Structure 1
């Protein structure tokens, strides 16, 4: 066999490997041994970056820091860094010098709104940590957890990070969207502002409650023991035409074996009907068609319609420590403006993120042909996303604004910002500034009886 043929075969073999699905491999003993040493106990790089713009992880705070006067759950979040000022502000005029640390979605927003979009960049902070039991479960999952049924199910222990050493796109997806460590219960009334290109605002309001009992401090469940993953119930309060509509459902640990079950209460007929196949690119209720069901918190539900791959890690300016954005001192009239939210109330920090990419599988349909998510290495939460249309053009770009919830010892999803780059509209989702209460978390008062068709019927009467 000639050298040329040998070389061709090597090239073809390499190409085949590049496009083959990644084989699942548990973390090695050497990898697991790094947890809590050069890596944090959940797998982030403890060290800062080369130029010091990302600091070393300190993890010095668990719960409420001594200098913070937080009155307890149900109150609006209190800023842990009240004296911080922006280090600099990125604008359309100077964005070129920061380009390698900007996402494609951020660049598109600068291009779309060159006169008004800007990014105030603050000192990067890595001061909060997760409870010790999260570290213990994470170590166990690193050695034992596995995906099953083509990546649509998982065998693992709850209460920790799933794959701190993700070997495939599906492992990273499960770790960052389906198996995150978040508050185990959540109750709130929030406002949604769907802002048209001309600045007109269509307002919505939703009463929500969510339960993921497996994340309670005393819960260490196996995903194979038959219990549910999580529950949700959303009741529409505004607009008036949809008032009283209720959507509720339950999630499981294996999307193939037990798909999401959901129901809808119609106040006009006073009947509860099952909603088969609820998810994917169905329009999320009350969003004006601006986001899909599986776009809430950037991605949720079964991964079955996409091929997932890890692109790598980057240093990016991402929304972080978003306390001010949820402050009752900031009124909606000041916050909501045409094109995008008032940038003065945003906080961006430089952090290392995992980049996860999804390509629509052949033979499957979805509004989005390609999706890109940026995942914070410290929290394993999706912070930003980009969604592409059928022609491959960047269509929508999104940002989640998290803050550390002192009462829950973890990060809480706050305002989601979903920008349509083609129409010039955006959705500010889960605003609480002008609500009497903020997020009510981890009270222990919710149970599975507060969800499902009977709960929807009771709530609607």
Structure 2
């Protein structure tokens, strides 16, 4: 993929400041805290006062020496903490005493399923770090990156996290960090999707997905960025009635100036056509309409339909170091229990998170009237989101099981679960436990020309 002319064309067109509302970057003195009292992503390096959150160690980059793992071939994640046991379990009998460190959605899960929903809490582990070049890039971003176009774009950005030391009052800087974290630059995965009804019946979806993340490509990190942020391809394998449907899409860096573009192949007509709109509350393929496109990774795409505010940092029990749930010996029949996935396969830790809330603007429509996201300070990935309908009633609790991917030297979104709090059903998304291969990360064999309408036409015939 190196020196790809098309990649360069898509990527290098750097943004320039044309609006008068650029937001301030931090001083060199503030940026010097990165790698010291702050980690290079801007997380507080120290533990908390009572010792329930540990200090950051960052002792491992990539695969630890004691882990046997083959890189870039789709091996299932290997647990670096195989001997860890839960320190305690939060359940229907004791959850109220932990309420200060639980989200509204977690509390609702305990109230709705007091006899079965549990959260096994483990010792906190903050042992993985990012490559030096990524940390150096984030430090440069801290003193050069600025929001423009009312927070929909930025200038001075050079890859990875744009605002490692965000203005605590700037929801758009925090949202930008979620949208542009450091993560795998190529991925290929076949994911299973389980729509689990309240009585345990399962409707299955399956999708083949590829992706190319341009700011994190090794050829581009450290250079000014603009134009296209990400390219993706998704083909439906299940349900059978939709088999063969496929889409390629292009994600812009700045949603004030560009829009997400997508082309769809319909096997019935055998034609490729551009979609007039792709994103927001469009149903996500294979989820029986239960998930929206913009709820993948809990929030993605243009932020334009919501008014965003931040509630600062909080200490919350979140899924972390989620290796156990992704083992190849985990069977779906064991994992997908009624009303929620099997609690014993989850791992929760007390972590500091940034809390971000979006409220639907009056002039827009969306399935969700409000969404509250919890972003792990060590990675900037949203790990939990509570969704409210347009009457402001809590209707869905969702979480993603992130793990550190040795292939990518970054954190990777694993299996996620979206719980319908009104019907008792839920969707298990991005399941790969029973697939021969886990996600193949950073193999580096995808190029921009793999994601064009012409490529979609070739692959679909």
Over residues 81-102 of structure 1, what are the superposed CA-to-partner deviations in whole Å (9 max), with x where a residue is unaligned? 0000000111011001111111
In structure 2, the residue matched to 1:47 is 46
In structure 2, the residue matched to 1:264 is 264
Aligned mates of 2:283, 2:214 — CA distance in 1: 27
In structure 2, the residue matched to 1:188 is 189
| Superposition CA RMSD, Å | 1.3
Aligned mates of 1:149, 1:312 — CA distance in 2: 23
TM-score (norm 1): 0.93
Aligned mates of 1:145, 1:95 — CA distance in 2: 42
Does the 8 Å CA contact 1:403/1:413 hold for their aligned counterparts? yes
2:33 pairs with 1:34: yes
Over residues 108-160 of structure 1, what are the superposed CA-to-partner deviations in whole Å (9 max), with x where a residue is unaligned? 11111111100001110000000111111111111111122222222233332
Q: Closer, same or farther in 2 for the Cα pair 1:441/1:110, shift >3 Å?
A: same
In structure 1, the residue matched to 2:55 is 56
Unaligned runs of 5+ in 1: 1-21
Does the 8 Å CA contact 1:133/1:159 hold for their aligned counterparts? no
Aligned mates of 1:358, 1:250 — CA distance in 2: 24
Aligned mates of 2:284, 2:109 — CA distance in 1: 23
Does the 8 Å CA contact 2:130/2:410 hold for their aligned counterparts? yes
Does the 8 Å CA contact 2:138/2:161 hold for their aligned counterparts? yes
Does the 8 Å CA contact 1:191/1:431 hold for their aligned counterparts? yes
Does the 8 Å CA contact 1:397/1:418 hold for their aligned counterparts? yes
SS at match of 1:154: strand
Aligned mates of 2:338, 2:397 — CA distance in 1: 16
Q: Closer, same or farther in 2 for the Cα pair 1:156/1:179, shift >3 Å?
A: farther
In structure 2, the residue matched to 1:284 is 284
Over residues 219-259 of structure 1, what are the superposed CA-to-partner deviations in whole Å (9 max), with x where a residue is unaligned? 23655554x21101110111100100102101111112111
Q: Closer, same or farther in 2 for the Cα pair 1:23/1:212, shift >3 Å?
A: closer
In structure 2, the residue matched to 1:399 is 399
Matches within 5 A, 1:124-203: 124-167=124-167, 168-176=170-178, 178-203=179-204
Matches within 5 A, 1:299-448: 299-448=299-448
SS at match of 2:30: helix
**Deviation of residue 362 (structure 1)?**
2.3
Does the 8 Å CA contact 1:155/1:222 hold for their aligned counterparts? no
SS at match of 1:339: coil
**Deviation of residue 318 (structure 1)?**
0.3
SS at match of 2:384: strand
Q: Work out which of the two has the higher radius of gyration on C-alpha atoms and give 1 or 2.
A: 1
Aligned mates of 2:367, 2:239 — CA distance in 1: 25
**Deviation of residue 276 (structure 1)?**
1.6
Number of matched pairs: 438
Aligned mates of 2:52, 2:194 — CA distance in 1: 34
Over residues 173-228 of structure 1, what are the superposed CA-to-partner deviations in whole Å (9 max), with x where a residue is unaligned? 0111x2111000000111110101111000111111011133123323655554x2
Aligned mates of 2:301, 2:80 — CA distance in 1: 33
SS at match of 2:218: coil
SS at match of 1:310: strand
TM-score (norm 2): 0.93
Does the 8 Å CA contact 1:157/1:220 hold for their aligned counterparts? no
In structure 2, the residue matched to 1:457 is 457
Does the 8 Å CA contact 1:130/1:409 hold for their aligned counterparts? yes
In structure 2, the residue matched to 1:18 is none
Aligned mates of 1:98, 1:224 — CA distance in 2: 43
Aligned mates of 2:172, 2:214 — CA distance in 1: 24
Q: Which moved more, 1:150-159 or 1:80-89?
A: 150-159
